[in-house]
Structures are given as C-alpha cells and as structure tokens.
Structure 1
C-alpha cells in the first residue's frame, strides 16, 4: 500500500462524552463520517439543551449509539471510557478514536481520511496527534454554521504558551496491548511496547511511550510532528458560546473572581491555518442532507434556539456581564508569554 492510500474497509469507532453540545453535534458527526468514522459511541450527562433528544433521534437512524454516562461520581470521562472498553462495538472495531466535540482531526495526507493517515503511518498500533488551539478570531455572536468555517487563527503550531510539548489525542488499533483508555492516550499492559507513531508517522518519544514522566503522559514536542495530521481544537468558539460553556464556572461562586487564563491561553491569533476548510464543501452538503430529515432538522434548530436563549439569559446577570467585558478586554497574548516579556522589561 502506498503512503497515504486509504483503506475503505476499516471499522473506526469514535467515542465522546457530551454535556449541552446540541448546536455542535451535527457538524462533528458529519465531519467524522467524512473522514472515515463508521460508528459513534456517545455518552451524555445532565443535558438541558436538547442534546439527548437529538442523539436519540440520530441513534435511531443507525451508526450511532447513545448512552447515559455511567459515572456515579464526577469523573465522567474516565468512567465512560472504562465502560466503553467493555462495549462490543468498541471491542469489534479495527480502530478507536477518542475526542471531544470541539476537536477535529485535520488530516493532511492522501484523501484526508483516517484510513489515509493510518496507511501513511505504516504498522502503528497507536497514532497520537498534537493539538492546535484555535483562537476566538474576535467573533462575539454564536452563528449556526460550521465551526471549522469560522475560526482560522491559532498559536504557532510548534509552541503553545511557551511550551514545545503539546497535548495529543490518540487513534488506537484493535491489537494495542490495552490496559485502559485515557482521554488523551491509551495505557499499555505491563512492559508491553506497542508500535506508536506521532502525526508524522515517527516513533513517539520513549518517555511518552512508557509514561515515565507525569508531565509527558499526554503530551510531547509538536515540532515536526504534524506532517500527516493536526488536531484542531476549537475550545473557545464564539464569545456567546464560551459564556454558555462557563455557565457552571466560578462566576456563580460568591467571593471568587472569574479567571480568564483558560481563554487567554487559547486565544493566541499569531498563526493562520485554514487547511481544514478543504473539507467544507462536502461537510456542508452532508449537513444539509442531515437537516433535511424533518425530525433531525427540528431537533437541531431547537438546540440552537436553546443555546441562544441560555446566552441571553446569562447576559442579564451582572456576573456574566462582567465576564464578557473582561474577555473582550483581555490581551491576545498568553499569560506565560506576557510574564516573560515583563521579566525582560519589554512590557510594563
């Protein structure tokens, strides 16, 4: 098989956990179907925006399994992944992809599908792809159109917040000697040493492979690691959506100030990368087809309306008004870089 030549007979299951992601579900599912995901296992918990109804309707159409999150405590993702490991769907899949709904695998090789990435990486039993955090791009209002069409600015792909080691998410092959799934990477049994590639098909660093260093369990240097793929992470989206995302944050706790650090760390617009937009024509066509189903279209519209209504409701509260103003005025420079410039006497 030539490098980048896709295999069309692979079964690939994507696993994710969601809470109030209703307006963004169709795009994420459509995009991942386009790049080769054959099945979805989606866990939801405590949703109030129509996510559950939309997922149930999609599950009835086939190719998607929706389950309530089995977590008994607050460790939602890890308990869901433990449950997923025992699932017949996951056990029977050739590959497993674990990611969040704001993460899009941007494949640069072959026909831009997961099978093409797998082919390019040879005999890897796992492929870990580095994050690239996409900024808000100054977009304040939520729009019901593809996220990948709206945001194109990010940090330098090789450096994030002064760090050269950047987090990853991982494709896992069926024969990986799995002990358990982590949110960012699998962990191998005993002294097993699986064949493990980065997003350029190179062997991952040894200390990452063996999880020898707690700081390197879920990250490694990104330089040179993006030849075949990047993981586009749209953690901020529009300011409206970020306000809704923070609905359960510290602003609701008396005498605690809102910390804009998370926003600032991910709102670095130094780099432009719109390579993922090559997928837009096919994505928009698939979204139109999905929304043409009367039930799916209505449930999506309902989730969008609830998202907008929740933002409007939050913006009547002084704490969220203050948050919005703080984010609008926040420097577009990560705190770590600002601190370095201050130490060097470049900024006051």
Structure 2
C-alpha cells in the first residue's frame, strides 16, 4: 500500500509545531520530513525530540548557498524517504490539509479519486478572525474565518499545493511538481480537489487554480498565513522561511488576511488531533521543549512591540480590523 510522506521546510515555528504534527498524524501521514534552517526559538530541540520518538524525521537544512525551500526539496528527492508509489506531499507549516471525504484521511482522499497519481489542493486563506494577541490554542480553533470559495483575486487566494506519487515526477516545485517522468500529461493522472481532471496547461506552467481547475469538494488546504496580530510581528521579523531576504509587511497582511465566511469543516478531525496532541505532550521532554518555544514566542512579541517600527505596524494591523 502506498505511504503518505509530508515534506516541509521550516524556520522558527516552535509554538505551532505540535498542533501541525498532530494534525498531519491525525489525517494519516506515514512520515513527516521537516527541514529546518536558522532556528533560534527552540524549534530544533523540539523537533529533535519528536524525531527520537519516531514522530517526525528532522534534518538541519541551514546553509547560505541557496533558498532553504528549494534546498530542502532537492535533498528530499535524493533520499529514500518515499518509494515510487508513495505520495509526496509538499506543504508548509502554516498549511493544514482539510479532507472532506470518508474518514477525513489521506487514504480516504486517494480512494475517492482512485485514478489520481497527482492531486492539487487549493488554498483557502484564513485570516486573523479579529484576534490581536497570541494564545497557545489550536490555530484551527482560533482562526475560523476565511476567504469565500469563489475568490479568484488576489492570485494567492487560489494558490495550490500538489501531492504526487514519487515515480511520476522528478522535481518538487513550490506549488506543483516539475519534470515529469512520463511522456504525456494524461499519464500524470492529475486531478483537482473535487476529483476532476486538471487542464493540460499544468504540465508545464501555473502555480494556482483557475475557474476551470479550482475544486474544494474533497479537499482544501487551510492556509493560516497571518495568525494573530502579535504573531504576525514575529513572522515579519523572521522573514519568509523559504525565501531568503524577502520581507513581509502590511501589504502581505492585507493580501492574505481574509475573514469573509466562517469555515469549521476542518473540525471533523479535531478529536483525533487532540488525542495525538495530548499524547505528544505527555512526554515530559516534549512538554518542556514546547513550553520553552511558547515562552520564546511571547518574549519575541514583547520585544517587537516595544520597538518603534514593529510597534507602529501592530497599531496599523489593529486599525485594519476596525
């Protein structure tokens, strides 16, 4: 039987790691490969402990030579973490797969589209839901308001991420695989989140869904890009984990902070996620390291709010919610 292998680059996601790992285990991920770079918030120590417990595979991806995300993807494809028939699932730490079919697992998703060998999941942008301050609660509990399904603009609203069987593609792109190992588009067996075939143009281009390819019936990718106002300050200070030197600011917030409709469909797996989360926290070392990440995040918020530039940004974010 095919396995499901999640691959993500990561930087300074400490207080959010346990929920994300628990979520992916709850939907049936067999392996979670995490490549971290330049962490300073305790993430590495927590991930090392989870690796020792067999919950994730953690790799140090720190380097000055090229963008961390692309480096992680190249390294992964040279490893034997996924077999030819296994599903490779490249997602980020602020993206949560929301499966709406069967028992809400990755297995149920692929069984719903048995012909698929490549499957795209379209983003739903989840905003800050009016939350100003950081709280160590589940992201999926705090941020329940999102962009509507029909939201072709901004372009990011219909951005996609694509899972694929390892033997079909040779290269992981940021949003979709590249360099097909088969001769024709038909042989990629590429479907969307509603189980419909994708247009042939995706063989060579496009990072987002269009009116003829968007679909949310079976799966969507909940994208918690901004979180609370306070946590956004930390994200801005960190920079984009996967694009070296690229800044974040008010423009990104305004683009990604979408709070039009309430969507709690991801709660279908909440009991499973909570049970796994509690099990992970029952380990004394995990508890200690998770709590340290939370403390570090709170301290970073205090430091940033006391600085003129980031303090002014916080006030602007508050005004945006008014």
TM (norm. structure 2) is: 0.91
Q: SS at the partner of 1:90? A: coil
Q: Which residue is equivalent to 2:30?
A: 38
Is 1:99 the counterpart of 2:91? The answer is yes
Q: Which residue is equivalent to 1:75?
A: 67
Q: Which residue is equivalent to 2:82?
A: 90
* Greater Rg over alpha carbons, structure: 1
| Alignment length (residue pairs) | 313
Q: Deviations over 1:138-161 (max 9, x none)?
A: 111111111011111111112143
Return the offset for 1:165: 7.5
Q: Which residue is equivalent to 2:2?
A: 10
Is 1:203 the counterpart of 2:197? The answer is yes
Q: Which residue is equivalent to 2:178?
A: 187
TM (norm. structure 1) is: 0.84
Structure 1 residues 91, 189: closer, same or farther in 2, change over 3 A?
A: same
Q: Deviations over 1:249-275 (max 9, x none)?
A: 59xxxxxx9841211112221111111
Q: SS at the partner of 1:159? A: coil
Please list every run of 5 or more consecutive structure 1 residues that lacks an aligned counterpart in the other structure. Answer: 1-8, 251-256, 333-348
In the alignment, the residues of structure 2 paired with residue 196 and residue 33 of structure 1 have an alpha-carbon distance, to the nearest angstrom, of 25
> Residue 117 of structure 1 contacts residue 229 of structure 1 at CA under 8 Å; is this kept in 2?
yes
Is 1:124 the counterpart of 2:103? The answer is no
**Structure 1 outlier segments of 4+, above 4 Å:** 162-165
In the alignment, the residues of structure 2 paired with residue 317 and residue 164 of structure 1 have an alpha-carbon distance, to the nearest angstrom, of 30
> Residue 152 of structure 2 contacts residue 210 of structure 2 at CA under 8 Å; is this kept in 1?
no
Q: Which residue is equivalent to 2:263?
A: 273
CA RMSD, Structure 1 to Structure 2 (Å)? 2.2
Q: SS at the partner of 2:123? A: strand
In the alignment, the residues of structure 2 paired with residue 80 and residue 265 of structure 1 have an alpha-carbon distance, to the nearest angstrom, of 27
> Residue 161 of structure 1 contacts residue 265 of structure 1 at CA under 8 Å; is this kept in 2?
no
> Residue 139 of structure 1 contacts residue 238 of structure 1 at CA under 8 Å; is this kept in 2?
yes
Return the offset for 1:204: 0.8
Structure 1 residues 249, 92: closer, same or farther in 2, change over 3 A?
A: closer
Return the offset for 1:179: 2.8
Q: Which residue is equivalent to 2:147?
A: 155
Q: Which residue is equivalent to 1:3?
A: none
